[in-house]
Every structure is written in C-alpha cells, then in structure tokens.
Amino acid sequence: MKAVILAGGTGTRLMPLTKVTNKHLLPVGDKPMIFHSLEKVREANISDVLIVTGIDHIGDIVRLIGSGSDFGLSVTYRVQDKPDGIAGALRLARDFAGNDKLVVILADNIFSSSILNQKINFEKIESGHCMLLLKEVDNPQRFGVATVLDGKIRKIVEKPIQPESNLCITGIYFFDKTVFDKIQMIKPSKRGELEISDINQLFVDDNKCLYEILDGWWTDAGTLPSYNTACQLSWEMSCKG
C-alpha cells in the first residue's frame, strides 16, 4: 500500500496565520501540522508517500521534508496548479499509485490512533471497494455525514443543514486504483471543485463503500477553533508520551 497526503488549499479559514505560509506548515503541538500525517503513515508500515500541494508553497514543503528519509519514508511530490478540490488533487496520484492500494489523508486531520489495523483490513478486501473512517462528532453540519443502516453506508451528504447522523467522514480514506476511473465520472460542483463526497457516493451507489469507526480522538485543523483544539490535544498527547 502507498500513501497520498493532500496538503493543498489556500487556508483562508485560518487567516491571518496562513497569510505567508501553507497551513500544513503551521505548528500543531510540538511539530509542523504535516508531520502528524507522515508519522501516521510510518506507524502503518507504509514507506512510499506522495504529497500533493499548491504551487505557492511547494518549495517550503520540499525544504522541510526533503526526500522523507528523516521519517524512514520515500516522499515524492506533485503540484496542484489550481484549487480544483480534493478529488482534483487525488487525480494527480494516478501514476504514483499504479496498481497499489492507497490510504489518502488530508493533512489537516490530526488524530491519536494508529491506522495500521485499517490498512491491514483494507489490504484483504477485493478490488473495487473504498473504506471510509468515520467519527462521531458534536457538530456534523461542518462535515460530510454518513447515514449508516444495517452496517452499511447508505448515503453521504456534504455539510447537511439537518444531519441524519453524527457520523462525520474524516479526511482518511482507503481506495484502490478504481477511484481514478470514478474521478473521471464526476463534474465540478457549484464552487468549481471535484468533490471527494461525490466520489464516495459513487462507491455507495455501487454498494462498495465500507467503513470503520476511528478510535481515539480526532479533529481537523482547518478553522481557528479546530486548530486550537488540535494544538491542545497534540500537546496533551506529547506530554503523556
């Protein structure tokens, strides 16, 4: 299995912190935000990593991470020339993925548990499926929300006004190469982006969308309040360690 870490975006919700830097370079706890994703990949015994980021900060990220050897990883890079969404960024990983399965992590996801067991479980699953990691949250309106019935995801709604559940779809996804064919099937949303929720819904429609509940704590760090939460939780975890 290989890993794709998506570290693009403009970080407008974190202004003014992101006025002169990529949000994934901001400190979370005792390390840059993107280091958290790299460490989770290493814990899952994955060594080949692709980082996708925007054109403005690719140099800073390469200078920080380099070849990935400090993490015991082999890191390559792709540039997302325009902000055309998470699925648009993932599309750039097609050649990197080849025939291997992938874990895709949004680099502003900060979480405590290992994803090794989920990786092992997904490696056993036949091709054509995806697996989403879900987490119960108090504010599902901020996220993509999964409706689960009889142990299966039946529907995905992005930022619902009246959520049918409190199971948010975290920014941790497992795919195989069939995801790239599905990216070709979707059209940009009203905001001009290729939405990852549309991709996941296609797997749901094909009855090939699996899920697991993520253990431990999880937060995104994409807004000032959630960034503050991520920093606090990360400091607490590092102090305990």
Is the model's pLDDT at 237 over the cut of 80?
no
**pTM for the full model?**
0.95
The overall average pLDDT reported for the chain is 93
CB pairs under 8 A, 24+ apart, for 115-124? 115/40, 115/43, 115/44, 115/172, 116/43, 116/44, 116/45, 118/174, 118/212, 119/1, 119/44, 119/45, 119/46, 119/174, 121/212, 122/1, 122/174, 122/210, 123/1
Span 104-113, average pLDDT = 96
Span 18-22, average pLDDT = 83
Model confidence band, residue 57 (pLDDT cutoffs 50, 70, 90): confident
- Is-contact 14 108, C-beta < 8 A? no
Q: Give strand ranges (E) for 35-166.
A: 48-54, 74-80, 102-106, 109-111, 130-136, 144-149, 152-158
CATH code linked to domain 2-240: 3.90.550.10
Burial class of residue 123, CB neighbours in 10 A (0-12, 13-18, 19+): exposed
Model confidence band, residue 189 (pLDDT cutoffs 50, 70, 90): confident
Model confidence band, residue 240 (pLDDT cutoffs 50, 70, 90): low
Is the model's pLDDT at 158 over the cut of 80?
yes
**What are the sequence ranges of the domains in the chain?**
2-240
